[in-house]
Amino acid sequence: MNRESAIAHAKRYPFALPDSSYLLVNGDTWRFRSFGKVGEGPLIFDHTGQTRKVSNAKGPGGIMWDHLWKDRTPVVAWGSNGSAEQLTRKFQAKKDPTVIPVIHGKLKDFTVVYSAHFSRYGSIAATPQYTLGTSSIVFVTFLSSEQLDKMHSTEKNYTFRKFDKVSLYLDNGMILDTAYAYVSRHGCLSFRGKNIALSSIPCSETPFPRMAEEKVLALARDLIAPDKELDEFIYENIIYEETRRLHTERLHEFSSPFEYDHTTIIW
């Protein structure tokens, strides 16, 4: 990726988030239109412009439909992990098909905010913050044990936690009071006493200001390297690991902790 493409990529976080649930099959998106009873057929979806219906049979990649939920861990995707583009980068097609259900839903009492760190691709990524009375739109990836191990390997800046006492309503009919998610090790980015919500993630009644990625990158630049031109600042964070580490340390001066009590760190 050349300089211009790398900078543009950093500014696009959390990348292309869909407006409905989908099934990722080796990088190909099978968009759900409607669900039958959870774990059973029929499931109706669009793929390559055609409507298809599958009931109690093998679906794409040879996986049984009831195995879309069985023995899989529901992992809340706060930011780019809800994007097919990002998941495809993380789960490159192998000999065996990679099939991941990505289910659209609503999570009460949390806002998706920016973490106080820079990712290796130059973005400031997402993390949750507890905000009683809010409702956020999120995606939940249902991951097999192998897929979960792979996801862990891509989330070095995060702890993996079990969340209890949540209210998570999914489009496939599931209502979860327990789920799993990644939480930043660096805390939540804070400016003038408030965290900053991602403007690309719908959230009702959030107490925080909302910003798009490019605007929050400019804010971070202003806080720690005000003399730098923005694109140069972003690019240095991408290509120089030590610069990225030092800039993240500086960003810690503008952070606040994650505040939800009902979590257990798993990894």
- The one-letter code for the residue type at 118 is F
Instruction: Give 101's contacts (C-beta < 8 A, 6+ positions apart).
Output: 21, 23, 24, 68, 69, 72, 141, 142, 172
Average pLDDT over residues 112-128: 98
Is the predicted pLDDT of residue 118 greater than 80, yes or no? yes
Domain coordinates of the chain in residue numbers? 3-265
Is the predicted pLDDT of residue 168 greater than 70, yes or no? yes
Is the predicted pLDDT of residue 111 greater than 70, yes or no? yes
H/E segment holding residue 145: helix 145-153
Average pLDDT over residues 202-229: 97
Look at 86 and 63; give whichever has higher pLDDT. 86
Tens of pLDDT along 93-102?
Answer: 655 668 899 9
pLDDT band (50, 70, 90) for residue 37: low
pLDDT band (50, 70, 90) for residue 27: confident
Average pLDDT over residues 196-221: 97
Pair of tokens at residue 19: 């407006």
Architecture of the domain made up of 3-265: Roll (3.10)
Q: Are 166 and 173 in contact (CB under 8 A)?
A: no
